[in-house]
Amino acid sequence: MRRLGYTLQVHSYLGNYEIPENTTLFANAWAVHRDSELWEDAEVFKPEIFEGFLGDRDGYRFFLFGVGRRACPGAGFGMRTVVLAVGALVQCFEWEKVDKGDIDMTPAFSVEMAKAEPLVALPKPWPDMVPILSQL
């Protein structure tokens, strides 16, 4: 369950910007988590740079799970299970892209980071994994 916008109930200021009451603000998580002033090698795929930031306020530069009183209570669970799920998918299967060519990373226009062109891939269990997977 995710709330993506924050409605300010009072007339307020954010930096130099005047925000009228009842304005809903959206924080651009995509941009903040790729900002090279905040993160080293921000444009490189290196998920480990976010390790240890859960619950760390450090200027609120990491807010995948929101911040403050209404931050995600499942954050610790989410961090652990996503690693397990992705790890299992990579370790147990060999992945093959169905149509040939490079992956089209063009984003769709949406609040969340959806791809414009879906990635279709075929998982084939690694031979060592077949006996284990067949018992599940």
Residue stretches of the annotated binding site for heme: 72
Q: How far apart are CA 50 and CA 64, in angstroms?
A: 10
Closer residue to ligand HEM (CB): 78 or 125:
78
Q: Strand 23-26 to strand 93-97: parallel, antiparallel, or no bridges (unpaired)?
A: unpaired
| CB of 17 vs ligand HEM, minimal distance in Å | 20
Residue type, 49: I
What minimum distance in Å lies between the beta carbon of 75 and ligand HEM? Answer: 6
Q: How far, CA to CA in Å, does 132 sit from each of 23, 86, 88, 113, 114?
A: 53, 17, 12, 34, 33
- Residue 53 or 129: the one with the smaller Cβ distance to ligand HEM is 53
The residue among 68 and 131 lying less far from ligand HEM, judged by its C-beta, is 68
CB of 130 to ligand HEM, least distance (A): 30
- Binding-site positions: 72
Question: What is the rounded distance in angstroms from the CA atom of residue 59 to the CA atom of residue 37?
Answer: 12
Q: Give contact residues for ligand HEM (rule: CB under 6 A).
A: 1-3, 64-67, 70-74, 77-78, 82
